[in-house]
Structure 1
């Protein structure tokens, strides 16, 4: 179990077009060459109707692009926790019709910043953003744009508001706490959680994560539920029942002298106890150890060894969304977009997680 952190951060983006040496010189009718240097560079929309010089339109377009990125980017939680700041550089092609294609990360700072910047670029096509394409000798051409995006952490507001209107404080003087501490919470949930008898027929095993909101008055309710193994409604019921039965056992968070609503992430494991399911449970435990070993190796920059361990884990449980998400994120970090698409799309179908919805259309091509 871990304390949930969902800070809302201010993020500043520094955007410019980086000049590089040309790789294309000639131009013909029906030219499909991708130009890196052009006479009239591609421009972000919003300024073409301005009655002014081309240079003014370029400056205006840069400001519009900055505004778009600023409004859509979200500081990655991992980067926040590791205090990562710096500039990510992306490259993409502006097609003749103004669409974005072939986005790639050419410089990353880690912590999910590169992937987040890539997601924002993908959001342009989804939002129907159409660039003014580049021109050479008066002809519309395909062109490369290199885009630096700067990530800088600023002090966040004390709370965020969910899609359902709930305020969840992420900064406090006294954190949300369970009576007796997290070990007591784990012991209580272990004693309370029931394995649905219906699961024994097929030896269902898996994990469900619940985000529990504890209000200032001590009331509790479920904010989110993630079923990584498609266990189904009977398991959801037991997970929700166990989590909400902690009502009255929490000490609410305190901020500036008053109690405030805060959230806590609870991870619950369901394993059958009948002898006929013993082998399945052992495989499940082994898969968990392998994925952890793989993640550790990957973090130690032993990427191929880490991926191999992750592959062993997934071979044991091919439909475990949690395992697929770990390897999918690893592939994203390596800029292996096709492999990331396969894992993350499958995890999306199994667990209905929406964490990568904005980036999947971009990487699944």
Structure 2
């Protein structure tokens, strides 16, 4: 779920919760001024509370962290959706929902502006007059009196002098207390959240309460409340001249008359208005627990995506490519260059970044990249004769114009395979370039390419530190001894699978305080050996970020439970395993 949608859902949930709270505690009292403040605060807090950042406070309290972990595991499950069955329907639903929502917003905005313009036009065409020391604008025909900010519209000849006094007192209360601000605010909230019935209910309560305030002012000023009520009943048949305004007779008169006759609530009842403060605090805490849970889930997802390329690596019948590590593709949007994460090369005109907000993307995405490489790789005849196979890792730069430049081998297998990998990468079509803060930038990108001889399912064994590249097939060691393989028929798996590994890393990762103070973040890559019993042995750092993060990555790996060991030809074997762990600060 993207942050904008999460924010929008929280806003509407807050509106619903606040309305229920209002009906439960404030609906029947006569503290109209307090009620006005509370209703406006309900709207304002609904839009603000999802933006309040209490994540650091929550992370510092173990019960809150436990709640976030529970939320992440119980409320935020991961779903696997197959492209052929569900994705298209999901996309259609999301797209149609978006069109429906924005269509409703546009229609309500159009209605809002039509009403607003009608009031302006009425103001320009109505003749002004001073009555009882107050400037009013004479309506052209008999209509219900109303006010809009400091404009008061009346049809004077339709009312007696006593009725004019009551109307002016009522409308002046609207003007002096700036009730039109409440009206406009509630209208805009309804436009933004038009599909939420509770926003319309709160709008109705705001409009009703404003009339209660004005009616109360009329009674306080000394007018006879019975004659005033009869006056309201006499105007009930008149149509309101405008809706975007404070109308004298627009609301159901039964509620207004009942409220005028209602016994005043005791002053001690005002204290209950303080009860919504704990409710607002609780909403902010729950919102931030949800954010922390999603962050934990996101970090764990990044980690497990990095692991998947190794876990899912398998033998194929033709030269193929490994999946591009997700940390080098679009998806790591939380990380931006900081003081500790600078461009890869010092070039004021065109700096090259390691990680940006929007990573470069091959035309057609990851599937397009894999398809391109698989179709264009030509296994060198010399390598086939020498039975050479393995993984070549190429690093290159995707420039701002999308062109691939400066490809280089950062992990070699043989001159023949290295040259073929460089040829294929150099011939790539233009990419969709990366972006940082909305600007096109050059980004360093890494692609691992697996060369495997067709029909040769045996893999080359390695020792614990270095792969044996050119060892003839006849000299390959058989599984069952202390050989350490790089790729086997059945790769080792974490007990419980990828999801459990993701949860293990997320829950057990402890970001070093020294790294937090220095703002250090990045990707630590470890190499380790999963032995025949499933034990994690010989962990070492392949790519370092800082001593603190390296040490934490080593600690995480050493504390892992036993894995399900790898198998070659049905026999458990030792396998070299590479695990990237991403450390990211929010």
Q: Report TM bin, short chain.
A: 0.3 to 0.5
Q: What's the TM-score once normalised by structure 2's chain length?
A: 0.24
Q: What's the TM-score once normalised by structure 1's chain length?
A: 0.36
Bigger share in helix? 2
In our comparison, the structure showing a higher alpha carbon Rg is 2
